[in-house]
Copies of this chain bind each other. A is one copy, B any other.
Amino acid sequence: MDLIDYKILSALHENARISMSEMSRAIAMSQPAVTERVRKLEEQGVIRGYRAELAPDKLGKKTSAFVLFKTNNCPDFTRFCEEAPEVVDLYRISGEYNYLMKVLTDTTESLAQFLDSCHPFGFSTTMIVLSTAFEDKSPVPGAME
């Protein structure tokens, strides 16, 4: 993992659909070499995958919230969350609460409904997202410019 790898990761984090050839031009290295490095980064698990970033509100999901949860029924709770389309992220955390999840719903009403459906598993505190300052900043060292 050297500077060139960081450049590759930065480029792919910024635009996952860039071609190997175009990237090779951007970072001044031959296309076969870049392709091989990307292959290795994928193999090592540094690159987990490539995702389109979608706008939830354009899909009708106008409400997003973080929900802190306290439960003593972890396996069932995680299964419940996996199957709930509202829950997009689920983290196990330290502190007063057990879990933190990110939830997307159409409206605040459907958020309330979802929270009701969680009730059997424990209790929660909800923080509605008023605005997103930024999201998904690159974790690559020296990726700021």
**Chain A positions near chain B (C-beta within 8 angstroms):** 1, 9, 12-17, 44-56, 58-61, 66, 68, 78, 81-83, 85, 87-95, 97, 99-100, 104, 125-141, 143-144
| Contact between chains at A16 and B13 (CB < 8 Å) | no
CB distance from A77 to the nearest CB of B (A): 9
| Contact between chains at A50 and B48 (CB < 8 Å) | no
| Contact between chains at B100 and A51 (CB < 8 Å) | no
- Knowing A133-B82, A134-B89, A135-B89 are in contact, say whether A140-B54 is a contact too (CB < 8 A): yes
Number of copies: 2
Q: Complex: how many Å from CA A66 to CA B68? A: 11
CB distance from A17 to the nearest CB of B (A): 5
Q: Complex: how many Å from CA A54 to CA B49? A: 7
| Contact between chains at B48 and A53 (CB < 8 Å) | yes
